[in-house]
Amino acid sequence: MVTCAAPTRVIVIAGPARSGKTTLVASLYELFHAGPLSGFLFAGSRTLVGFERRCYLSRRASGRDTPETERTSHAAADVLLHLSVRGHDKDGRQDLLFTDIYGEAFRQAADSTDEVEQLTVLTRADHVAILVDGEKLASPAHRQEPYSQADALLASALEVGMLGPTSQVQLLVTKADALGDPNSAHRTFVKAKWTWLDARYRPRLATFEQFEVAARPAANSPLLPGHGLDNVFSLWASCPRPAEAGRRPNPPIDLGPFNRFGRAWDAKGG
C-alpha cells in the first residue's frame, strides 16, 4: 500500500496517442540512472521491471539504432508506475505514482462528458499533465490539433467537476526540439495558443502552467536528452494538491495489481 507508507503524489499524464506519455515517464526514471534530479535522490521503485521494459527500446542492448518507446496497449493502460524519491530535507521522502490516460480514452473524454466522468483518477490526481505534441505543432497540417484537444479535455473535465479549483494542471509541450529556435514561427504560435488557454482556464484551476520538454531530442538538436523534465519533476515532487473542503484524502492504492514481483510472491504464499 504505497499511499500509506509515505506522502504520495498521484500524477496523471493525459494525451493523445503518440504524444509521448510513456516516453516522458520512462525518461524521468532513466535520468536518475545518471544522478539526482532537481535535488531529489532516487529512493526506490516498486515497478523497476515496468520501467526497464519501457526504457528498453531506447537502449543499445535492444539492438536498435534509434530510440523508441513501446506503445502502451489498452490492456496495460491502467498500469501505475512508482518512484520513490528523497529531497534534501531529511524527512522529504515522496512516493510518486504515475498513470496515463491512453490515447483513445483521452479522445473520448474530450468528446463526451459521460466519458470524462469515467476518468475518476482525475479527482485523485495531485497533478494532471496534458501533453501537447510539439511535432504536430510544427506541422502546418496538424498544428491546430494539440491545443484544440487540450482545450476540449479541460472544458469537458471542468464541466462535470472532474477538475476544479484545487486541481493543478500542466500543459507539457513534448518534443519541443521540433519547435526550433526561440524566435521561430512555431514558438510564436505556441505562445499565442498558451495565452488563449491560460486566460480561459487559469481562473478555474488552482494552478495552470506550461512547460516545454524534450525527452529524446533529435540527433541534430542542441537540446539535451531530458530537456525540461527536471523543472516538471520538481513541481510534481514538491507540490501536493491544495486542501479542499470536504475532499477526502486519497485512499490507499494497492500495488499488487501492477507489481509483477509482488503478484508472483503473493501467488507463492510469500
Name the site residues for other proteins (rule: CB under 8 A). 30, 32-36, 41-46, 48-49, 52-53, 55-68, 84-86, 93, 217-221, 225, 260-261, 264-265, 268, 270
Task: For other proteins, give the closer residue by CB, 52 or 117.
Answer: 52
Task: For other proteins, give the closer residue by CB, 196 or 261.
Answer: 261
Residue among 196, 129, 208 at smallest CA distance from 165? 208
Q: What span, in angstroms and rounded, lies between the C-alpha atoms of 19 and 153?
A: 15
Assess contact for 171 and 53: CB atoms under 8 A.
Answer: no
Angle, nearest 10°, between helix axes 185-201 and 145-159? 10
CB of 229 to other proteins, least distance (A): 14
CB of 264 to other proteins, least distance (A): 4
Determine the distance from the C-alpha atom of residue 75 to the mean position of all C-alpha atoms in its chain, rounded to a whole number: 19
CB of 146 to other proteins, least distance (A): 24
Assess contact for 206 and 166: CB atoms under 8 A.
Answer: yes
CB of 28 to other proteins, least distance (A): 13
CB of 26 to other proteins, least distance (A): 11
Q: What span, in angstroms and rounded, lies between the C-alpha atoms of 108 and 74?
A: 14
- DSSP structural state of residue 179: G
Task: For other proteins, give the closer residue by CB, 192 or 218.
Answer: 218
Q: What is the distance in angstroms between the CA of the first residue and the CA of the last residue of the chain?
A: 16
Task: For other proteins, give the closer residue by CB, 55 or 205.
Answer: 55
CB of 213 to other proteins, least distance (A): 16
Task: Please give the order of strands across the beta sheet that includes 127-133.
Answer: 41-44, 81-86, 93-101, 8-14, 127-133, 168-174, 207-212
CB of 69 to other proteins, least distance (A): 11
Q: What span, in angstroms and rounded, lies between the C-alpha atoms of 8 and 84?
A: 9
Task: For other proteins, give the closer residue by CB, 31 or 116.
Answer: 31
Residue among 178, 174, 173 at smallest CA distance from 221? 178
